[in-house]
Chains A and B, each alone.
Chain A
Amino acid sequence: MSILKKTLVKRLLLTTAVSAALMMNAAQAENKRIALVVKGLGIGFFEAAVKGAEEAAKEIGDVEIIYTGPTDTTAEGQIEVINSLIAQKVDAIAISANDKDAVVPALKKAMKRGITVISWDSGVAIEGRQFHLNPSSNPLIGNMIIKLAADDLPEGGDVAILSAGATSTNQNTWIAEMNKVKDHYPNINIVSTVYGDDLSDKSYREAQGLMKSHPNLKAIISPTSVGIVAAAQAVTDAGKVGEINVTGLGLPSEMAGHIASGASKSFAIWNPIDLGYAATTIAYNLATGATAEAGGSIAMGRMGEVEVNDDLEGAMADPFIYNSSNIDDFKYIF
């Protein structure tokens, strides 16, 4: 028994003491401490966002970034993290929430104790934060997907859309927004919209069908990460690389091969680095006197200014364009 006791006590002493010593220097300085709370640690997208946050911190100067989040992507885990941030009296919390409602009581408590709270990427219900930063907005996305197709087709031509489900809210909104601005691209002739239901095989067959029924097809726009990959594969398999350009919204890691082969000249999605950068500068500005009011705007460093709408939300920027010049930098990130 006594052996057991001594060993356990010794182990605990040692481990705790080591971690204590390691972390001693974390609690110092008069810097503004901004906590970037993510959905879960070890996710490439968020690791990239932290790079942006660090960049912002360096630029501003007196900012210390605390990058934290639960191991599992649960709301309970995030609440424990928020509680410990409240206890540390950080100056601001910028969170990408696992659950837009469940974190509200904890974040309300944070605001009551004088901490600036914003959400970014994945939002928090309006009563639990001062501002929410969307990576982009529906009109910007709608415009971007048709612009991408038009930029590679100076002489114009037939273009088809491969969407997700016929009832997918996001995709339908983006396509509607695209239709609003299509007069700005008079050369682009949208011939058809088909639905691959966000299933690889169905999207692949729909893309094949588009190529058969529209022999003059010049581009396929797919505003979904599943569809764009399937369409690029279908174009490659049909031997039409260079004839038909696939574009839309996709993930760099999944699209890198198709950018290299030329099946897709470019596509778009938000840039996590910019997002982390913007979230940090906004959190800093709100913690140092700026306010988020409907109709107003908040500065976000090199990203310009974000306009605050009636729901106290704002859109950061156009989706970021990925092509052969930058795909290699991002394909390992997300």
Chain B
Amino acid sequence: MSEINQYTARDIPERLSSPFKRVVSSWEALLLLVAILIFFINTQATPYFLDWWNLSDATFNFTEKAFIAFAMALLVISGEIDLSVAAIIALVSTAMGFAVQLGYDTPALVAIALVVGLACGAINGLLVTGLGLPSIVVTIGTMSLFRGISYIILGDQSYKDYPESFLFFGQGYVWSTVTFELLLFVIFAIVYYVLLHRTNFGRAVYVIGNNPTAAVFSGLRVERIKFLLFLLTGIMSAIAAICLTSRLGSTRPSIGLGLELEIITMVVLGGVNILGGSGTIPGVALAAIVMGMLIFGFGLLNVPGIVMSIFIGLLLIGVIALPKIASNLKNYYLERKA
């Protein structure tokens, strides 16, 4: 008996654990604890950490990535992925730089960015939902395509001379040490929280990720919802591109190189199941803050970049492996007991 059901059967508890207990034992609570811990250790390890301006500078380490991570979280929960986001940043930034040369001003630049981001998202979405291709393959392809176009247009040149008003997005402060990007981060966190956890659309995303077939038979327009999610990721990449370009004040085709991996790390660290079906926005937001503070703390201690990469790599593997190891251990323990 025990051989058959050990891995498939789930105990049905006699009652649900109390809401309080669920919150305390959640992944988000753990992340919050880790965030507080890192904050505390940073304050002890370096005298420079607890300074409003420094903390404000530190937020740039995660804000732009987090914008994309929110949309990516929805995409991953629905069972898809988009590896082309950093390449979309490059293409959007190049398009804006090109428009600057033609004399367009800030509002037009933002509009162009959003249109290009939408177009990129639409290409990904059409290839995945229209032709039924696997998103990981499609977006590896478009990753080279989008960045390739930037390289063709720019070569080893760069665009600069962005209008003064454009620089507000990445370098501006809304109040005291609160940057515009930090404000955007808070706004997007709320918007995506509502979208995923408080709307029918959000419920549908979970259903599709858990069981696409069941979703189809429940009358959900699976392909359309997935297409919308790709569009959303494209737009968020465009917004990140606006902020990043504004912060750098220039565009090169190598802009944002490799960001997609950091974004996916953020999403997975936030507790989103890489195979789809589960995950939360508060988790992703906390993961963004944890990663940002970790990188900034290491930076203050002048830890070499490679050590940071190793640590973040280990963190990612650990986070994916731990639940698996824990459940294996639990099964082993139960088997011994039985």
Contact = CB atoms under 8 A, between A and B. Distances in A.
A20 B41 contact: yes
Interface string A1-25: 1111101110111011101100110
A4 B323 CA distance: 7
A253 interface: no
B57 A86 contact: yes
Contacts of A88: 46, 48, 300, 302
B252 A71 contact: no
Given A1-B326, A12-B37, A16-B37, A26 B301 contact: yes
Contacts of A71: 304-306, 308-309
A68 B304 contact: yes
Contacts of A257: none
Interface string B239-258: 00000100111101011111
Interface string B12-55: 00000000000001000010011001100100111111010110
Contacts of A5: 25, 30
Contacts of A42: 306
A197 interface: no
Nearest to B26: A1
Interface in A22-48: 23-24, 26-27, 41-42
B257 A72 contact: yes
A4 B326 CA distance: 6
Contact of B299 (A8, A13, A84, A101): A84
Interface bin, chain A: 35 or more
B41 A105 contact: no
B177 to A, nearest CB: 13
A66 interface: yes
Contacts of A83: 57-58, 60-61, 296, 299
A122 interface: no
A312 to B, nearest CB: 19
B48 A87 contact: yes
Given A8-B322, A19-B298, A20-B44, A101 B160 contact: yes
A281 to B, nearest CB: 21
Nearest to B171: A105
B45 A20 contact: yes
Secondary structure at the A interface, as helix, strand, loop or mixed, is: helix
Interface in A248-298: none
18 contacts: A1-B326, A9-B30, A9-B37, A12-B38, A16-B297, A17-B41, A19-B301, A70-B305, A79-B247, A79-B248, A80-B61, A83-B58, A83-B61, A83-B299, A87-B49, A99-B252, A101-B252, A105-B247
Interface in B50-84: 51, 53-54, 57-58, 60-61
Secondary structure at the B interface, as helix, strand, loop or mixed, is: helix
Contacts of A79: 60, 247-248
B158 interface: yes
B318 interface: yes
A20 B300 CA distance: 11
A205 interface: no
A17 B37 CA distance: 10
A8 B300 contact: no
Contacts of A102: 158, 248-250, 252, 255
Nearest to A87: B54
A126 interface: no
Closest CB pairs A-B (n = 7) = A84-B299, A71-B305, A101-B250, A23-B301, A20-B45, A87-B54, A102-B248
Interface in A67-100: 68-72, 74-77, 79-81, 83-84, 86-89, 99
Interface residues of B, number: 60
A170 to B, nearest CB: 13
Nearest to B303: A19
Interface in A207-252: none
- Determine which residue in A1, A66, A102, A105 has the highest number of CB atoms from chain B within 10 A of its CB, and name it: A102
A27 B301 CA distance: 8
A68 B302 contact: yes
A101 B25 contact: no
Contacts of A41: 304-306
B329 interface: yes
B296 A84 contact: yes
Nearest to A104: B249
Given A12-B34, A20-B301, A23-B301, A87 B249 contact: no
Interface in A124-149: none
Interface in B260-305: 295-305
B311 interface: yes
B334 to A, nearest CB: 13
B103 to A, nearest CB: 19
B158 A101 contact: yes
B208 to A, nearest CB: 26
A27 B47 contact: yes
Contacts of B329: 3
Nearest to B305: A71
Given A3-B330, A72-B257, A79-B60, 14 more contacts: A4-B323, A16-B41, A19-B298, A20-B44, A26-B302, A41-B304, A70-B305, A76-B259, A80-B61, A83-B61, A84-B299, A86-B54, A89-B48, A102-B255
A101 to B, nearest CB: 4
Given A9-B34, A83-B60, A99-B252, A74 B41 contact: no
B267 to A, nearest CB: 17
A87 B300 contact: yes
